[in-house]
Amino acid sequence: MSTIAERRELATTVRAALSRFGDRAVLRRAIDGDIGYDEQLWRVLCEQVGVAALAVPEEYGGVGAGLAESLIVVEELGRTLHTPPMLGSAVLGVWALLLSGDIEACARLLPGVAEGGLTLAVCWADSRGWDGFGVRVVDGKLSGTAHYVLDGDAADTLVVVTAAGVYEIDAGATGVTRRVAATMDVTRRLWEIGFDSAPARVLAGDGTTLASRLRDIAWVALAAEQVGAADYCLGVTVEYTGSRVQFGRPIGGFQALKHRMADLYVLVESARSVAYSAIAGLESGDRLAGAEVAAARIHCTEVFRTVAGEMIQLHGGIAITWEHDAHLFFKRAHADGELFGVPVRPVARTG
**φ and ψ at residue 147, rounded to 5 degrees:** -105, 160
- Helix or strand or coil: residue 65? coil
Give the pLDDT score at 1. 58
Q: Identify whether the C-beta of residue 230 lies closer than 8 Å to the C-beta of residue 299.
A: no
Closest CA to 85 of 220, 188, 171, 193: 188
Domain membership of residue 344 (yes or no) is no
Q: Which CA distances in Å does 67 have to 74, 193, 256?
A: 11, 27, 40
The backbone torsions φ and ψ at residue 148, rounded to the nearest 5 degrees and listed phi first, read: 55, 45
What's the confidence (pLDDT) of residue 345? 60
CATH for 11 = 1.10.540.10
- Final residue of a structural domain among 78, 96, 115: 115
148 with 199, same domain: the answer is yes
Residues 6+ positions from 33 with CB-CB distance below 8 Å: none
- Strand partners of residue 136: 143
195 shares its domain with 218? no
What per-residue confidence (pLDDT) applies to 312? 92
pLDDT at 252: 64
Helices (H) and strands (E) in the chain, counts: 10, 12
Give CA separation, 344 vs 186, 246, 340, in Å: 28, 47, 12
* Domain end residue (candidates: 115, 140, 166): 115
- Is residue 141 situated within a structural domain? yes
Position 348 in a domain: no
Q: Is 7 left (phi over 0), alpha (psi -120 to 50) or beta?
A: alpha
Question: Can you list the positions of beta strands (E) in 219-301?
Answer: 245-246, 249-250
Same domain, 213 and 225: yes
196 and 159 in a single domain? The answer is yes
Instruction: Mark the ranges of the chain whose per-residue pLDDT is less than 70.
Output: 1, 244-245, 251-253, 345-351
25 and 77 both lie in a single domain: yes
Fill in the DSSP letter of residue 202: E
Kind plus residue range of the DSSP H or E element containing 210 = helix 207-243
CB proximity list for 138: less than 8 A, separation 6 or greater: 197
> Which pLDDT score is estimated for 4?
82
Q: Which pTM value belongs to this model? A: 0.93
* pLDDT number for residue 317: 77
Residues 246, 301, single domain; the answer is yes
Domain membership of residue 341 (yes or no) is: no
Give the contacts of 163 (CB within 8 A, at least 6 positions apart): 133, 136, 207, 208
219 and 292 in a single domain? The answer is: yes
Are 265 and 315 members of one domain? Answer: yes
| Selection from 109, 197, 211 nearest residue 162 by Cα | 211
Residues 329 and 213 in one domain: yes
| CATH assignment of the domain containing 193 | 2.40.110.10
Instruction: Based on the fold, state whether residues 88 and 135 are members of the same structural domain.
Output: no
Are 193 and 218 found together in one domain? no
Task: Give the domain CATH number at 287.
Answer: 1.20.140.10
Decide if 295 is inside a domain. yes
Report d(CA 312, CA 279) in Å as an integer. 30
For the sheet containing 141-150, what is the strand order? Answer: 135-138, 141-150, 190-199, 176-180
3-state helix, strand and coil shares in percent for the chain, rounded to the nearest 5: 55, 15, 30
Can you give the pLDDT at residue 342? Answer: 86
The answer to whether the CB of 157 falls within 8 A of the CB of 171 is yes
Are 147 and 267 found together in one domain? no
Domain count, the chain: 3
Domain residues for the domain of 53 are 4-115
**CA nearest neighbour of 155 among 129, 125, 189:** 189
Distances (CA, A) of 93 to 1, 68, 191, 259: 21, 16, 15, 42
What is the number of other CB atoms lying within 10 angstroms of the CB of residue 342? 16
- Residue 347 confidence (pLDDT): 54
Last residue of a domain, one of 207, 225, 260: 207
What's the pLDDT at 288? Answer: 77
